[in-house]
Structure 1
Amino acid sequence: MGDDYLQLFVDETTLYNRIVLANLLPFKWWDPLPHVLQTWLRNYIAGTLLYLVSGLLWCFYVYYLKRNVYVPKDDIPTRKAMLLQIFVAMKAMPWYVGLPTVSEYMIENGWTKCFARISDIGWFAYLVYLVIYLVLVEFGIYWMHRELHDIKFLYKHLHATHHIYNKQNTLSPFAGLAFHPLDGILQALPHVIALFIVPTHFTTHLGLLFLEAIWTTNIHDCIHGKLWPWMGAGYHTIHHTTYRHNYGHYTIWMDWMLGTLCDPADDDWGKTK
């Protein structure tokens, strides 16, 4: 890629930086910061707001407006449990957002296969590449998640932080990002690795990374949406209970193919514990 084309990525990230920082931080004290630090600061603010706002809205809707409709009263987590999850997530957030910051840096320097505009390749090729990208991400997150369970050292020192939430009355939307920082980064890493394998639209990549915050909120609310083939909260609640099923991320396909799927519709799933 030529310098003129790479400048398109820099211009786009600069625009995102100014939209977030200029509107949320006073006095432009951040303006002298190097571009990469502005990008990290923008990702930190955006990621924090997305996590807190989406979690608060979802908890308010499920636990208060629809109390006893989706989740029985006895299965509603305590405020103490939710505050602990927020505390764990916020300690990790500065590290989490380092991943999109690094990926943006690599993209801006032309180290990946990213492209700046859909018109560069056309809508058909964009959709084909997007499907391949998502398949690679699903494959990568499944195996990363499974190895975080199977390798005892990784489970004990990283993933166990997340699995202290192992029942419905301890799981909440805020548990979605309550990980050891390195654990959260490892599970999102396939999003970045895929950039070196398949051509990916830059804005779509950023959007999908931040969609992780929304998705993890959804799959930790204990509500089984029954929308096949998506790996909804019904499946993921089983994962937190049995520890050895439903490692998938967006879909159930990897678990189905590799024999680790446990369907919440199966009345006998509890016997697999």
Structure 2
Amino acid sequence: MEDLTSLLSDYGTLFREDTDFYNRIVLGTLLPHTVWAPLPHFFQTWLRNYLGGVLLYLLSGFMWCFYIYYWKRNVYLPKDAIPSQRAMLLQIGVAMKAMPWYTLLPTVSEYLVENGWTKCYPRLYHVGWLPYFVYLAIYLVVVEFGIYWMHRELHDIKPLYKHLHATHHIYNKQNTLSPFAGKYIKYSTFKHCSRSYVKLKTLFRQLF
């Protein structure tokens, strides 16, 4: 029992070192040291996830809009199918309101991992390559089923649809739909897949 407790403690230390490493990379690049360094570890991690989520959302959306709406105008979409600037700004506004909550989930997941409340392993040699990829495949299948049933229940349970999901369907016509309206799709996937990034970042550290 003592050996197991010691092993879990070692795992937690390794995970926390990894998290600190990524916090320093992202926050140290984007913010002055005096802004983020005094924050508790949990809030540093949340801030990193939040800033990363915002940047991913805005950069991917703006790059897509530039390519499809400007550079390749009238190639992929007729002019009257391009959403108005007002519609896109409203979609961005909805996403920004939701972003703090979406990025809280991977932050909580990391907290659970660091404290030994999961079955995550900090290094590949703790589990082996074959089991690693088997577990990853199983995980992705389970996530896909989870996303499907979550989305289905958001439609079937009327109070949930009214208060949580209806806003998403305001922008489901071709001339109002932009990449910024994909918030629910992107971040439903993001919030689930972000839980596996703890495993994937281990692979990154092993290879680089």
TM-score relative to the length of structure 1: 0.67
Deviation (angstroms), 1:70: 1.5
Q: Which amino acid aligns with 1:101?
A: T
For residue 167 of structure 1, report the CA deviation from its aligned partner.
0.5
The corresponding residue for 1:248 is none
Q: 1:155 to 1:201 in 2, by over 3 A?
A: closer
**Larger CA deviation: 84-93 vs 119-128:** 119-128
Task: Give the corresponding residue for 1:202.
Answer: 198
Across the aligned residues of Structure 1 and Structure 2, the Cα RMSD in angstroms comes to 2.3
Code of the residue aligned with 1:165 in structure 2: it is Y
Question: In structure 1, what is the Cα distance between the partners aligned to 2:62 and 2:121?
Answer: 35
Tell me the secondary structure at the aligned position of residue 169 of structure 2: coil
Once the two structures are aligned, what percentage of the paired residues are identical?
Answer: 65
Instruction: State the 1:28 CA deviation.
Output: 2.5
Report 1:25-174 matches (<5 A). Answer: 25-174=31-180
Runs of at least 5 residues in structure 2 that lack an aligned partner in the other structure: 1-6, 204-208
**Structure 1: segments with no counterpart, 5+ residues:** 208-273
How far residue 166 of structure 1 moved from its aligned partner, in angstroms, is 1.9
In the TM superposition, what is the alpha-carbon distance from 1:206 to its structure 2 partner? Answer: 9.8
Aligned length in residues: 196
**In the aligned structure 2, how far is the partner of 1:168 from the partner of 1:206?**
40
Q: Is the 8 A contact 1:141 1:188 kept in 2?
A: no
Give CA-to-partner distance per residue, 1:29-87, whole Å, 9 cap, x none.
22111100100111111111111111100110111111111122211111111011001
Higher relative contact order (CA 8 A, sep 6+): 2
C-alpha distance in 2, partners of 1:164/1:204?
Answer: 35
Shift of 1:113: 1.1
Which has more helix, going by share of residues? 2
Q: Judging changes above 3 Å, is the alpha-carbon distance between structure 1 residues 133 and 21 closer, same or farther for their aligned structure 2 residues?
A: same
- Tell me which residue corresponds to 1:264: none
**Matched AA of 2:174:** Q
Alpha-carbon displacement from aligned partner over 1:5-33 (angstroms, at most 9, x marks no partner): 21110000001111111111124222111
**Contact 1:165/1:175 (CA < 8 Å) preserved in 2?**
yes
The residue type paired with residue 46 of structure 1 is G
Letter in 1 for 2:99: M
